[in-house]
């Protein structure tokens, strides 16, 4: 099992976490490095949980996934009644820890969607093209997505959609559904912009298209982020020496704009290492999906790949002004216990699936 595992995904994840520790060390000097200490604690806890996940047959996890899916739905509903933080009801405050159900529910939704796909395709893989069965799979994802949009957290909701699209794509879905979906998106986007999106979401899109139109207001964060990354040049300004980072112009610099801190203080080389590590993580995850011993393993792996791909693209893209700001964290790097634990559970599942490709240590 250990011989067959894709160790590069674990190496890439740990490398990203280490870079995150260094960035948090510099970004949290003013609060006596409190964020860094908490992040290291969550990192250790995450590794322990990851090891446990590696040794639990993912077939067993699939069988109990409907239970976890139901619990996740209840949490996503309950969190809507909590006190808003920065305009969103996305967290449960539990002592010194804030639980974000939208993050941890990613695991349950991917596993439950996999369970549904496998059940539907038990006798005939083409059953996924049955309209009502396809709608059932989509509803399983779109229902929690709708609850997350109500928080509102559009970035996290989009991560679910990307995972679902990739899972459906490799399930053998008919091309007519793909073309219909693309056409629907093209028609829906302008309608969503003019009639559905709230004012703050429209503002983010407008600022993305022209941040200089409001440099002291809505465009402030992205302009400061681009200045920070540009100022870092090749080797960076040095830890604790970044102007935008240390003078408080980047906000929030421990989560959404952690990549800007890396670019300013560690430079293009380290920022490039972060992107390379993500590319390694994503490509090896795709390879695991391709070589999995069964469809269930392939669906889980490609769903996880979708989450990794979206978070990397959106977070790094928004810090460079290439994509709208959505508040999506850079997984493994940004501060946050919920995202750290969820990310390493994903790594545990990928190691589990890759370890079972040739021979299994699990007794059936």
Mean confidence (pLDDT) of the chain = 88
End-to-end CA distance of the chain: 16
Res. 364: pLDDT tops 50: no
CA dist., res. 24 & res. 29, Å (int): 8
CA dist., res. 255 & res. 35, Å (int): 11
The pTM for the full model equals: 0.91
Q: In this predicted model, which residue has the larger pLDDT, 180 or 76?
A: 76
Interaxial angle between packed helices 7-27 and 337-355, expressed in degrees from 0 to 180 and rounded to the nearest 10: 170
Q: In this predicted model, which residue has the larger pLDDT, 212 or 345?
A: 345
Q: Which of 352, 342, 287 is nearest to 159 (CA)?
A: 342
| CA distances, 198 to each of 93, 94, 121, 192 (Å) | 26, 30, 39, 10
In which region does residue 328 sit, left (phi positive, over 0), alpha (psi from -120 to 50) or beta (all else)?
A: beta
Give the tens place of pLDDT for each residue, 33-42. 778 989 999 9
Give the tens place of pLDDT for each residue, 321-350. 888 888 899 999 999 889 999 999 999 999
Tokens for 44? Answer: 């250790």
What does the domain layout of the chain look like in residue ranges?
7-355
Supply the pLDDT for residue 359. Answer: 47
Q: Which of 62-71, 163-172, 198-207 has the lowest mean pLDDT?
A: 198-207
CA dist., res. 117 & res. 119, Å (int): 5
Q: Which of 107, 88, 128, 129 is nearest to 255 (CA)?
A: 88
Interaxial angle between packed helices 258-291 and 337-355, expressed in degrees from 0 to 180 and rounded to the nearest 10: 20
Q: In this predicted model, which residue has the larger pLDDT, 309 or 212?
A: 309
Contact 61, 355 (CB under 8 A): no
CA dist., res. 331 & res. 106, Å (int): 13
Give the tens place of pLDDT for each residue, 220-258. 888 899 999 999 999 989 998 888 888 888 888 888 899
Res. 105: pLDDT tops 70: yes
Q: Which of 87-91, 133-137, 146-150, 151-155 has the lowest mean pLDDT?
A: 87-91
Supply the pLDDT for residue 35. Answer: 85
Strands (DSSP E) along 147-187, which ranges? none
Residues 6+ apart with CB under 8 A from 230: none
What confidence category does residue 358 fall into, taking pLDDT thresholds of 50, 70 and 90? low
Q: For the chain, percent helix, then strand, then coil, each to nearest 5?
A: 70, 0, 25
């Amino acid at each position: 099992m250990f011989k067959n595992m894709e160790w590069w995904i674990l190496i890439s994840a740990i490398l990203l976490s280490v870079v995150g520790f260094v960035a948090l060390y510099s970004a949290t000097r003013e609060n006596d490095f409190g964020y860094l200490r908490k992040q290291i604690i969550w990192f250790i806890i995450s590794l322990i949980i990851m090891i446990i996940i590696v040794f639990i047959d993912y077939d067993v996890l699939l069988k109990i996934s409907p239970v976890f899916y139901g619990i996740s739905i209840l949490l996503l509903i309950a969190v809507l009644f909590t006190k808003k933080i920065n305009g969103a009801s996305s967290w449960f405050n539990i002592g010194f820890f804030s639980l974000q159900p939208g993050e941890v529910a990613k695991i349950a939704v991917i596993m439950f969607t996999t369970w549904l796909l496998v059940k539907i395709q038990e006798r005939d893989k083409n059953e996924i093209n049955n309209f009502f069965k396809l709608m059932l799979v989509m509803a399983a994802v779109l229902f929690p997505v709708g609850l997350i949009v109500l928080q509102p957290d559009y970035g996290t909701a989009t991560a679910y959609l990307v995972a679902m699209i990739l899972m459906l794509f490799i399930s053998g879905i008919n091309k007519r559904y793909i073309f219909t979906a693309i056409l629907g998106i093209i028609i829906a986007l302008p309608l969503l912009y003019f009639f559905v999106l709230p004012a703050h979401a429209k503002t983010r899109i407008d600022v993305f298209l022209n941040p200089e139109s409001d440099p002291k207001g809505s465009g402030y964060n992205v302009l400061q982020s681009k200045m920070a990354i540009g100022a870092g040049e090749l080797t960076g300004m040095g830890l604790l020496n970044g102007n935008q980072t240390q003078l408080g112009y980047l906000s929030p610099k421990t989560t959404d704009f952690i990549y800007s801190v890396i670019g300013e203080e560690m430079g293009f080389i380290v920022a490039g290492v972060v992107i390379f590590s993500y590319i390694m993580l994503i490509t090896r995850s795709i390879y695991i999906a391709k070589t999995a011993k069964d469809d269930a393993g392939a669906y889980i792996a490609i769903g996880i790949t979708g989450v990794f791909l979206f978070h990397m693209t959106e977070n790094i893209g928004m810090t460079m002004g290439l994509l709208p700001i959505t508040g999506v964290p850079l997984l493994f790097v940004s501060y946050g216990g919920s995202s750290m634990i969820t990310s390493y559970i994903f790594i545990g599942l990928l190691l589990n699936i890759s370890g079972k490709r040739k021979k299994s240590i699990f007794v059936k």
